[in-house]
Amino acid sequence: MTPPWTLEQITATAPDPASMAAARRLSSAWSDTGHSERSLWGLCRGSGSEPYATTVDLTGPAFHCSCPSRKFPCKHALSLLTLWAAGNTPEGAEPAFAADWLDSRSEKAEQAATTIGGTATDAESAAKTPDPATAQRRAERVAAGLDDLERWLTDRVRSGLGSITHDYSTYDAAASRMIDAQAPGIASMLRSLPGVASSGIGWPARLLSEYGRIYLLIRAYRDVTSLPEPLARSVHTHLGFPTKADDVRREPPVRDHWQVLATRITEDNRIYTRKVWLRGRTCRRWAILLDFAHGTQRFPDAAPMVGTAIDADLHFYPAAAPLRAQLGTQHGPPAQISSLPGTDLDDALTDYADALAADPWTRSWPMLLDAVTPVRSDDGWYLVDEDGRALPLGGDDNDRWRLLAVAGGRSATVCGDWDGRTVTPAALFAAADLSDTADLSSTAEGAPQ
């Protein structure tokens, strides 16, 4: 039987403090509550004539409620979890409203597994096969756009980086041409360059490095048919060619107990991105789950809970240095993490170097640094190991001050991303029993949950 969640776990799942506070006020509004091995359910009295029917799939976790709330999970799901934690949901048989939703989730999972297993009909496969003529037209358009971009970059280097403008409008115009050429990945690279040009002392070297990275991608695309398949897939991904979700699910699964270390939601022009950091307990591989939502649209499912491990299959996007993945079959409910095997600075930097060698356009790579101490000095912020070696600490001031406060001058385990210059922290685990944790997971204002 799945053990009840702790109050800390439930609070970590809440989309915001207000939802958790509202959930606590609903304890007396419930009827017909219960739980089984896989689920919780109950009816919660609201303002309408009919109570809200709420179900929690404990194997996800996933949440379903008949209320109109856009928050995910809603206050009713959170309240039901608190009842369960308090021992106030008796064991029993699932009612129809819960069983129907749970069964539909199982059917979808089975259909996905069938697709992964390759038993889709020939007609279905043919319908999903891209039109070769369309693919050829896009390839020609991308190639022409990259030829123009190469000339533009070369002219700017010949003119001298100090004698030309680096304002946003200049790079945005070049990025717009790459959008027209159907190379949105290059467009994103170009739009990041004004920030590099205004980054202070040493900016010409950093900007020239970014120009070189783009130039290398242009040359790689010209010879993409001669590259190894994983590297060719990386080139297409960095240019912005999409990878179909069905194709990813056909990749061989990697099963492990995946430790959920951090989650973060960011926003750009009302496009919300949710990023979840996972690390295999046995294989020691990193994986990143990315989900996207627009406006008030919800994310498809709740993110795995930070501080838990899920026995699951992951399907990695094809790449020279695979990192992004899709969550596949889960083989049991999440379990609380009991230990975090971090690495020292040498091993973490070696992992980054290996990823960069395999894929030279890698922007950053996750790290789980053991026994490091956040330190603020006159010349900046650092993570310092027990031998006195240090890595610069990036991120915003709020995250860095929280790290400093929670660590309290003691060594801790820090999860974050290394981009070759700084570590951007995502979470800090300050105690061996993981009870003292600073989850730096942030949610952009107005983000759907």
Q: What tens digit of pLDDT does each residue of 50-77 get?
A: 999 999 998 878 889 999 887 778 999 9
What is the token pair recorded at 396? 């915003």
- How far CA 238 is from CA of 100, 124, 173, 221, 320, in Å, comes to 42, 29, 20, 10, 12
Cβ atoms of 312 and 258 closer than 8 Å: yes
CA atoms of 247 and 320, how far apart (whole Å):
16
> In which residue are the tokens 């008030």 written?
296
What is the token pair recorded at 438? 């600073």
Q: What sections of 338-426 are H helices per DSSP? A: 345-358, 397-407
Query: Cα angle at 82 between 50 and 47, to 5 degrees?
Result: 20
CA atoms of 373 and 412, how far apart (whole Å):
6
CA atoms of 148 and 174, how far apart (whole Å):
10
CA atoms of 416 and 368, how far apart (whole Å):
7
368: confidence class by pLDDT, cuts 50, 70, 90:
very high
Mean per-residue pLDDT for 412-429? Answer: 94
Q: What is the pLDDT of residue 305?
A: 85
- Indicate the SS3 state at residue 87: coil
Q: What is the pLDDT of residue 126?
A: 44
CA atoms of 349 and 444, how far apart (whole Å):
30
Task: Output 148-156 pairs: Cβ under 8 A, ≥24 positions apart.
Answer: 148/177, 148/181, 149/174, 149/177, 149/178, 149/186, 149/214, 149/218, 150/215, 150/218, 153/211, 153/214, 153/215, 156/211
What is the token pair recorded at 422? 């700084």
Task: Look at residues 159, 198, 290, 277 and name the one whose alpha carbon lies nearest to residue 237.
Answer: 290
What is the token pair recorded at 226? 């001669």
CA atoms of 343 and 423, how far apart (whole Å):
14
Task: Look at residues 449, 446, 428 and name the one whose alpha carbon lies nearest to residue 437.
Answer: 428
Higher pLDDT, 447 or 286: 286
Instruction: Please indicate, yes or no, whether the overall pTM of this predicted structure exceeds 0.85.
Output: no
Cβ atoms of 219 and 101 closer than 8 Å: no
> In which residue are the tokens 């609903």 written?
26
pLDDT digits (tens, 9 = 90+) for 304-327: 888 889 999 999 999 999 999 999
Which of 35-44, 113-122, 344-353, 407-416 has the highest mean predicted lDDT (pLDDT)? 344-353
